[in-house]
Protein backbone atom coordinates (compact mmCIF):
# COMPACT_ATOMS: atom_id res chain seq x y z
CA UNK A 1 0.00 0.00 0.00
CA UNK A 2 1.57 3.33 -1.00
CA UNK A 3 1.37 6.51 1.07
CA UNK A 4 -1.60 7.96 -0.78
CA UNK A 5 -3.53 4.70 -0.55
CA UNK A 6 -2.80 4.55 3.15
CA UNK A 7 -3.94 8.15 3.50
CA UNK A 8 -7.19 7.47 1.64
CA UNK A 9 -7.89 4.36 3.68
CA UNK A 10 -7.48 6.43 6.85
CA UNK A 11 -9.73 9.15 5.42
CA UNK A 12 -12.42 6.53 4.74
CA UNK A 13 -12.17 5.24 8.31
CA UNK A 14 -12.33 8.71 9.87
CA UNK A 15 -15.00 10.15 7.59
CA UNK A 16 -17.34 7.18 7.76
CA UNK A 17 -16.72 6.51 11.43
CA UNK A 18 -15.59 2.91 10.92
CA UNK A 19 -14.75 2.10 14.51
CA UNK A 20 -12.15 -0.57 15.17
CA UNK A 21 -10.77 -0.55 11.60
CA UNK A 22 -7.16 0.17 10.59
CA UNK A 23 -6.00 1.24 7.12
CA UNK A 24 -4.45 -2.20 6.75
CA UNK A 25 -7.94 -3.69 7.11
CA UNK A 26 -8.91 -2.13 3.78
CA UNK A 27 -6.70 -3.76 1.10
CA UNK A 28 -6.22 -1.42 -1.89
CA UNK A 29 -7.94 -3.82 -4.26
CA UNK A 30 -10.91 -4.68 -2.03
CA UNK A 31 -14.24 -3.39 -3.37
CA UNK A 32 -15.45 -0.57 -1.11
CA UNK A 33 -19.13 -0.89 -1.94
CA UNK A 34 -21.57 -3.77 -1.82
CA UNK A 35 -19.98 -7.13 -1.12
CA UNK A 36 -16.57 -5.74 -0.15
CA UNK A 37 -16.30 -3.28 2.69
CA UNK A 38 -20.06 -2.76 2.56
CA UNK A 39 -20.32 0.98 1.96
CA UNK A 40 -23.49 2.45 0.43
CA UNK A 41 -24.58 5.44 -1.63
CA UNK A 42 -24.69 7.86 1.31
CA UNK A 43 -21.11 6.87 2.11
CA UNK A 44 -20.18 7.64 -1.50
CA UNK A 45 -21.54 11.20 -1.14
CA UNK A 46 -19.79 11.66 2.19
CA UNK A 47 -16.54 10.30 0.82
CA UNK A 48 -16.67 12.54 -2.27
CA UNK A 49 -17.06 15.55 0.02
CA UNK A 50 -14.16 14.48 2.22
CA UNK A 51 -11.89 13.83 -0.80
CA UNK A 52 -12.65 17.26 -2.24
CA UNK A 53 -11.81 18.95 1.05
CA UNK A 54 -8.73 16.93 1.77
CA UNK A 55 -7.08 16.95 -1.65
CA UNK A 56 -8.57 20.18 -2.98
CA UNK A 57 -9.90 18.49 -6.06
CA UNK A 58 -13.17 18.73 -7.93
CA UNK A 59 -15.45 15.74 -8.36
CA UNK A 60 -18.24 16.27 -10.85
CA UNK A 61 -21.38 14.71 -9.42
CA UNK A 62 -22.51 13.62 -12.89
CA UNK A 63 -19.22 11.99 -13.75
CA UNK A 64 -19.94 8.82 -15.64
CA UNK A 65 -16.78 7.25 -14.39
CA UNK A 66 -17.44 7.93 -10.71
CA UNK A 67 -18.46 4.34 -10.13
CA UNK A 68 -15.08 3.10 -11.36
CA UNK A 69 -13.12 5.78 -9.53
CA UNK A 70 -14.80 4.89 -6.24
CA UNK A 71 -14.49 1.13 -6.66
CA UNK A 72 -11.42 0.56 -4.47
CA UNK A 73 -8.78 2.45 -2.48
CA UNK A 74 -6.37 1.84 -5.37
CA UNK A 75 -8.72 3.32 -7.97
CA UNK A 76 -9.43 6.29 -5.71
CA UNK A 77 -5.71 6.94 -5.32
CA UNK A 78 -5.23 6.88 -9.09
CA UNK A 79 -8.19 9.22 -9.50
CA UNK A 80 -6.96 11.65 -6.83
CA UNK A 81 -3.51 11.79 -8.42
CA UNK A 82 -5.00 12.48 -11.84
CA UNK A 83 -7.28 15.20 -10.47
CA UNK A 84 -4.47 16.84 -8.56
CA UNK A 85 -2.39 16.94 -11.72
CA UNK A 86 -5.35 18.36 -13.65
CA UNK A 87 -6.06 21.02 -11.01
CA UNK A 88 -2.39 21.97 -10.81
CA UNK A 89 -2.32 22.78 -14.51
CA UNK B 1 -58.74 10.38 29.87
CA UNK B 2 -56.57 7.40 29.01
CA UNK B 3 -55.46 4.34 30.91
CA UNK B 4 -52.07 2.81 30.27
CA UNK B 5 -49.88 0.08 31.60
CA UNK B 6 -46.14 0.47 31.79
CA UNK B 7 -45.01 -3.10 31.20
CA UNK B 8 -41.28 -2.34 31.17
CA UNK B 9 -38.97 0.64 31.19
CA UNK B 10 -35.31 1.43 30.69
CA UNK B 11 -33.43 4.69 31.03
CA UNK B 12 -29.97 6.03 30.31
CA UNK B 13 -28.13 9.16 31.38
CA UNK B 14 -24.45 9.90 32.02
CA UNK B 15 -23.44 7.67 34.97
CA UNK B 16 -27.03 6.39 35.31
CA UNK B 17 -27.34 3.07 33.52
CA UNK B 18 -28.74 0.31 35.71
CA UNK B 19 -32.06 -0.01 37.50
CA UNK B 20 -30.16 0.43 40.78
CA UNK B 21 -28.61 3.68 39.53
CA UNK B 22 -32.05 5.01 38.69
CA UNK B 23 -33.54 3.81 41.94
CA UNK B 24 -30.94 5.86 43.79
CA UNK B 25 -31.58 8.83 41.52
CA UNK B 26 -35.35 8.56 42.01
CA UNK B 27 -34.95 8.59 45.75
CA UNK B 28 -33.07 11.88 45.79
CA UNK B 29 -32.40 13.18 42.30
CA UNK B 30 -29.29 15.06 41.24
CA UNK B 31 -27.84 16.41 38.01
CA UNK B 32 -25.10 14.05 36.82
CA UNK B 33 -22.10 15.61 35.09
CA UNK B 34 -22.39 15.27 31.31
CA UNK B 35 -19.03 14.63 29.66
CA UNK B 36 -20.44 13.51 26.36
CA UNK B 37 -20.24 9.83 27.20
CA UNK B 38 -22.56 7.57 25.22
CA UNK B 39 -23.82 3.98 25.26
CA UNK B 40 -21.57 1.68 23.24
CA UNK B 41 -24.48 -0.20 21.60
CA UNK B 42 -22.24 -3.25 21.37
CA UNK B 43 -25.28 -5.31 20.31
CA UNK B 44 -24.87 -3.73 16.87
CA UNK B 45 -22.04 -4.54 14.46
CA UNK B 46 -19.70 -1.54 13.89
CA UNK B 47 -20.89 -1.04 10.30
CA UNK B 48 -24.44 -0.58 11.58
CA UNK B 49 -23.70 1.74 14.43
CA UNK B 50 -21.34 4.03 12.58
CA UNK B 51 -24.08 6.49 11.68
CA UNK B 52 -25.77 6.56 15.06
CA UNK B 53 -25.46 9.90 16.79
CA UNK B 54 -25.08 10.09 20.52
CA UNK B 55 -28.80 10.63 20.82
CA UNK B 56 -29.56 7.71 18.51
CA UNK B 57 -27.30 5.49 20.62
CA UNK B 58 -29.10 6.59 23.75
CA UNK B 59 -32.46 5.80 22.15
CA UNK B 60 -31.32 2.41 20.80
CA UNK B 61 -29.72 1.46 24.10
CA UNK B 62 -32.91 1.97 26.11
CA UNK B 63 -35.44 0.72 23.55
CA UNK B 64 -33.56 -2.31 22.23
CA UNK B 65 -34.41 -4.88 24.95
CA UNK B 66 -38.04 -3.76 25.26
CA UNK B 67 -39.01 -5.17 21.88
CA UNK B 68 -38.72 -8.91 21.33
CA UNK B 69 -36.73 -10.25 18.39
CA UNK B 70 -39.81 -11.50 16.56
CA UNK B 71 -42.20 -8.74 17.57
CA UNK B 72 -43.53 -6.02 15.32
CA UNK B 73 -44.50 -3.07 17.51
CA UNK B 74 -45.24 0.56 16.68
CA UNK B 75 -42.71 3.12 17.86
CA UNK B 76 -43.26 6.61 19.21
CA UNK B 77 -40.09 8.67 19.25
CA UNK B 78 -40.38 11.90 21.19
CA UNK B 79 -37.95 14.75 21.71
CA UNK B 80 -38.52 18.44 22.20
CA UNK B 81 -35.15 19.55 20.86
CA UNK B 82 -34.24 16.60 18.64
CA UNK B 83 -30.76 16.28 17.13
CA UNK B 84 -29.75 19.68 18.39
CA UNK B 85 -26.01 18.92 18.31
CA UNK B 86 -26.19 17.80 14.68
CA UNK B 87 -28.31 20.75 13.58
CA UNK B 88 -26.08 23.20 15.42
CA UNK B 89 -23.07 21.72 13.65
CA UNK B 90 -24.83 22.07 10.29
CA UNK B 91 -25.75 25.68 11.03
CA UNK B 92 -22.07 26.33 11.77
CA UNK B 93 -21.13 24.87 8.37
CA UNK B 94 -23.74 27.06 6.67
CA UNK B 95 -22.37 30.13 8.46
CA UNK B 96 -18.83 29.20 7.39
CA UNK B 97 -20.06 28.54 3.84
CA UNK B 98 -18.81 24.98 4.04
CA UNK B 99 -20.51 22.16 2.16
CA UNK B 100 -22.91 20.18 4.36
CA UNK B 101 -22.22 16.58 5.20
CA UNK B 102 -24.89 14.47 3.47
CA UNK B 103 -24.97 12.08 6.43
CA UNK B 104 -25.34 14.83 9.03
CA UNK B 105 -27.99 16.52 6.93
CA UNK B 106 -29.95 13.34 6.25
CA UNK B 107 -29.93 12.27 9.88
CA UNK B 108 -30.76 15.66 11.37
CA UNK B 109 -34.47 15.31 10.60
CA UNK B 110 -36.75 14.55 13.51
CA UNK B 111 -37.81 11.11 12.29
CA UNK B 112 -34.25 9.92 11.59
CA UNK B 113 -33.97 7.89 14.79
CA UNK B 114 -37.37 6.28 14.18
CA UNK B 115 -36.14 5.40 10.69
CA UNK B 116 -32.91 3.93 12.01
CA UNK B 117 -34.88 1.87 14.53
CA UNK B 118 -37.04 0.56 11.70
CA UNK B 119 -34.00 -0.43 9.62
CA UNK B 120 -31.92 -1.90 12.45
CA UNK B 121 -34.80 -3.84 13.97
CA UNK B 122 -36.63 -4.74 10.78
CA UNK B 123 -39.75 -2.98 12.07
CA UNK B 124 -42.26 -2.46 9.27
CA UNK B 125 -45.14 -0.95 11.24
CA UNK B 126 -46.08 2.55 12.31
CA UNK B 127 -43.56 4.97 13.70
CA UNK B 128 -44.24 8.50 14.86
CA UNK B 129 -41.76 11.23 15.69
CA UNK B 130 -43.11 13.90 18.01
CA UNK B 131 -41.77 17.26 19.13
CA UNK B 132 -43.94 19.08 21.62
CA UNK B 133 -43.17 21.70 24.19
CA UNK B 134 -42.19 20.99 27.79
CA UNK B 135 -45.02 18.42 27.82
CA UNK B 136 -43.66 16.41 24.89
CA UNK B 137 -43.70 13.36 27.15
CA UNK B 138 -47.46 13.56 27.69
CA UNK B 139 -48.13 14.14 23.99
CA UNK B 140 -46.08 11.04 23.24
CA UNK B 141 -48.10 8.99 25.72
CA UNK B 142 -51.28 10.23 24.07
CA UNK B 143 -49.88 9.09 20.73
CA UNK B 144 -49.08 5.69 22.24
CA UNK B 145 -52.64 5.45 23.57
CA UNK B 146 -54.12 6.11 20.12
CA UNK B 147 -51.94 3.34 18.65
CA UNK B 148 -53.12 0.95 21.37
CA UNK B 149 -56.69 2.02 20.67
CA UNK B 150 -56.19 1.02 17.04
CA UNK B 151 -55.21 -2.47 18.09
CA UNK B 152 -51.47 -2.46 18.65
CA UNK B 153 -50.60 -5.12 21.27
CA UNK B 154 -48.02 -2.74 22.79
CA UNK B 155 -46.15 0.41 21.85
CA UNK B 156 -42.48 1.26 22.30
CA UNK B 157 -42.21 4.87 23.42
CA UNK B 158 -38.80 6.51 23.53
CA UNK B 159 -38.15 10.02 24.72
CA UNK B 160 -34.65 11.45 24.46
CA UNK B 161 -33.02 14.81 24.98
CA UNK B 162 -29.42 15.85 24.70
CA UNK B 163 -27.73 18.74 26.49
CA UNK B 164 -27.80 21.52 23.91
CA UNK B 165 -24.69 23.44 22.84
CA UNK B 166 -24.01 26.31 25.24
CA UNK B 167 -25.09 28.82 22.59
CA UNK B 168 -28.66 27.82 23.50
CA UNK B 169 -28.26 28.40 27.24
CA UNK B 170 -30.40 31.53 27.20
CA UNK B 171 -33.32 29.70 25.57
CA UNK B 172 -33.29 26.09 26.63
CA UNK B 173 -33.67 25.41 30.31
CA UNK B 174 -35.48 22.08 30.39
CA UNK B 175 -32.61 19.67 29.71
CA UNK B 176 -30.57 19.55 32.92
CA UNK B 177 -28.66 16.57 31.52
CA UNK B 178 -28.83 14.24 28.55
CA UNK B 179 -31.25 11.39 29.06
CA UNK B 180 -33.31 8.75 27.28
CA UNK B 181 -36.28 6.83 28.61
CA UNK B 182 -38.01 3.95 26.86
CA UNK B 183 -41.35 2.57 27.97
CA UNK B 184 -43.15 -0.49 26.76
CA UNK B 185 -46.72 0.70 26.97
CA UNK B 186 -49.79 -1.54 26.89
CA UNK B 187 -53.47 -1.31 27.63
CA UNK B 188 -54.34 -2.06 31.21
CA UNK B 189 -55.56 -5.63 31.27
CA UNK B 190 -57.52 -6.36 34.42
CA UNK B 191 -56.85 -9.80 35.79
CA UNK B 192 -53.31 -9.95 34.52
CA UNK B 193 -50.59 -10.08 37.05
CA UNK B 194 -49.01 -6.82 36.00
CA UNK B 195 -47.55 -5.05 38.95
CA UNK B 196 -49.95 -2.51 40.34
CA UNK B 197 -47.31 0.18 40.25
CA UNK B 198 -47.42 0.10 36.50
CA UNK B 199 -51.00 1.12 35.70
CA UNK B 200 -51.61 4.78 35.15
CA UNK B 201 -54.39 7.09 34.16
CA UNK B 202 -53.59 10.27 32.26
CA UNK B 203 -56.02 13.14 32.23
CA UNK B 204 -55.78 16.48 30.48
CA UNK B 205 -57.52 19.53 31.91
CA UNK B 206 -57.30 23.23 31.31
CA UNK B 207 -54.55 24.90 33.27
CA UNK B 208 -56.52 27.69 34.93
CA UNK B 209 -53.40 29.15 36.52
CA UNK B 210 -52.17 30.03 33.08
CA UNK B 211 -55.40 30.97 31.34
CA UNK B 212 -56.49 33.24 34.16
CA UNK B 213 -53.43 35.28 34.95
CA UNK B 214 -55.45 37.72 37.03
CA UNK B 215 -55.79 35.25 39.83
CA UNK B 216 -52.33 34.08 40.83
CA UNK B 217 -53.72 32.26 43.82
CA UNK B 218 -54.87 29.60 41.36
CA UNK B 219 -51.30 28.92 40.32
CA UNK B 220 -51.02 25.83 42.41
CA UNK B 221 -48.83 23.89 40.00
CA UNK B 222 -45.28 25.12 39.70
CA UNK B 223 -43.28 23.53 36.89
CA UNK B 224 -41.87 20.22 37.98
CA UNK B 225 -38.23 20.45 38.93
CA UNK B 226 -37.26 17.74 36.46
CA UNK B 227 -38.32 17.10 32.88
CA UNK B 228 -41.74 15.42 32.84
CA UNK B 229 -40.38 12.09 31.65
CA UNK B 230 -37.86 11.94 34.49
CA UNK B 231 -40.45 13.09 36.99
CA UNK B 232 -42.63 10.21 35.81
CA UNK B 233 -39.67 7.87 36.17
CA UNK B 234 -39.39 9.00 39.77
CA UNK B 235 -43.06 8.25 40.33
CA UNK B 236 -42.55 4.75 38.91
CA UNK B 237 -40.18 4.16 41.80
CA UNK B 238 -42.58 5.23 44.55
CA UNK B 239 -42.89 2.41 47.02
CA UNK B 240 -46.14 0.47 46.93
CA UNK B 241 -47.17 1.79 50.33
CA UNK B 242 -48.01 5.22 48.96
CA UNK B 243 -50.05 3.76 46.11
CA UNK B 244 -53.21 5.75 46.55
CA UNK B 245 -51.22 8.92 46.79
CA UNK B 246 -49.37 8.37 43.57
CA UNK B 247 -50.33 11.48 41.74
CA UNK B 248 -48.42 13.79 39.42
CA UNK B 249 -49.35 17.12 37.93
CA UNK B 250 -47.52 18.53 34.95
CA UNK B 251 -48.71 21.94 33.87
CA UNK B 252 -47.54 23.71 30.76
CA UNK B 253 -49.19 26.80 29.36
CA UNK B 254 -52.91 26.05 29.00
CA UNK B 255 -52.50 22.33 29.64
CA UNK B 256 -52.57 20.53 32.93
CA UNK B 257 -51.76 16.84 32.71
CA UNK B 258 -52.72 14.71 35.67
CA UNK B 259 -51.11 11.34 36.16
CA UNK B 260 -52.71 8.99 38.64
CA UNK B 261 -51.55 5.52 39.51
CA UNK B 262 -54.35 2.97 39.29
CA UNK B 263 -54.74 0.21 41.87
* Chain segment A59-77, per-residue pLDDT in tens: 887 777 888 999 999 999 9
In a domain, B41, yes or no: yes
In a domain, B210, yes or no: no
Question: What pLDDT score does B241 carry?
Answer: 45
In this complex, which of B49, B51, B101 lies closest to A49 when CB atoms are compared?
B101
In a domain, B209, yes or no: no
In a domain, B252, yes or no: no
3-state secondary structure chain B: CEEEEEEEEEEEECCECCHHHHHHHHHCCCCCCCCCCCCCCCCCCHHHHCCCCHHHHHHHHHHHHHCCCCCCCCEEEECCCCCHHHHHHHHHHHHCCCCCCHHHHHCCCCCHHHHHHHHHHCCCCCEEEECCCCCHHHHHHHHHHHHHHCCCCCEEEEEEECCCCHHHCCCCCCCCCCEEEEEEEECCCCCCCCCHHHEEEEEEEECHHHHCCCCHHHCCCCCCCCCHHHHHHHHHCCCHHHHHHCEEEEEECCEEEEEEECC
A17/B50 touch (CB, cutoff 8 Å), yes or no: yes
B103/A18 touch (CB, cutoff 8 Å), yes or no: no
Residue pairs between chains A and B whose CB atoms are closer than 8 Å: 26
Question: What pLDDT score does A88 carry?
Answer: 77
Give the gap in angstroms from C-alpha B101 to the nearest C-alpha of chain A: 6
- Can you give the residue range of the structural domain that contains B107? 2-197
A chain contacts of residue B90, beta-carbon cutoff 8 Å = none
pTM of structure: 0.90
User: ipTM value of the model?
Assistant: 0.83
| Contact of B34 with B54, CB cutoff 8 Å | no
Chain B contact for A62 (CB, 8 A cutoff): no
In a domain, B171, yes or no: yes
Residue in B40, B45, B46, B47 to test binding to A, most A beta-carbons within 10 Å:
B47
Give the gap in angstroms from C-alpha A82 to the nearest C-alpha of chain B: 23
* CATH value at residue B108: 3.40.47.10
Helix axes A73-88, A41-55, angle to 10 degrees: 40
Average pLDDT, chain B: 90
A49/B102 touch (CB, cutoff 8 Å), yes or no: yes
- Residue B57: phi and psi, rounded to 5, are -65, -40
For the CA atoms of A25, A29, A31, A35, the dihedral, rounded to the nearest 10 degrees, stands at: -70
Confidence of residue B194 (pLDDT cuts 50, 70, 90): very low
In a domain, B229, yes or no: no
User: What residue in B sits closest to A40 (Cα-Cα)?
Assistant: B47
In a domain, B246, yes or no: no
Helix axes B19-27, B228-236, angle to 10 degrees: 100
Give Cα separations from B23 to B82, B98, B195 (angstroms): 27, 46, 17
Give the gap in angstroms from C-alpha A29 to the nearest C-alpha of chain B: 20
CB atoms within 10 A of CB B215: 9
In a domain, B259, yes or no: no
Give the gap in angstroms from C-alpha B49 to the nearest C-alpha of chain A: 9
Q: Is A39 helix (H, G, I), strand (E, B) or coil?
A: strand
pLDDT digits (tens, 9 = 90+) for B219-246: 445 567 899 999 999 998 875 545 555 7
Question: What pLDDT score does B215 carry?
Answer: 47
Question: What pLDDT score does B239 carry?
Answer: 59
Chain B contact for A44 (CB, 8 A cutoff): no
- Residue B35: phi and psi, rounded to 5, are -105, 25
Domains contained in chain B, number: 1
Sheet with strand B199-206: strands edge to edge: B127-130, B75-78, B155-161, B179-186, B2-12, B199-206, B255-261, B247-252
Confidence of residue B212 (pLDDT cuts 50, 70, 90): low
Question: What pLDDT score does A19 carry?
Answer: 82
Amino acid sequence: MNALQQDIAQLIIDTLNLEDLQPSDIPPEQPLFGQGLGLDSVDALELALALQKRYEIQIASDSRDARQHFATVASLATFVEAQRAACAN
Amino acid sequence: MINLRIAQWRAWAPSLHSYEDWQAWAKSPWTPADQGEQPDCAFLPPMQRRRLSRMARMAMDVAWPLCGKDEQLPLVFASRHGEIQRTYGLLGDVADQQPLSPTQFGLSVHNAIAGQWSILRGQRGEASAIAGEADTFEHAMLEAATLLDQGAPAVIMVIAEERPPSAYDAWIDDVPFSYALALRVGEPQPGQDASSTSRWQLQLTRNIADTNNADKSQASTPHSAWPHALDFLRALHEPGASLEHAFLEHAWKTRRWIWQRLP
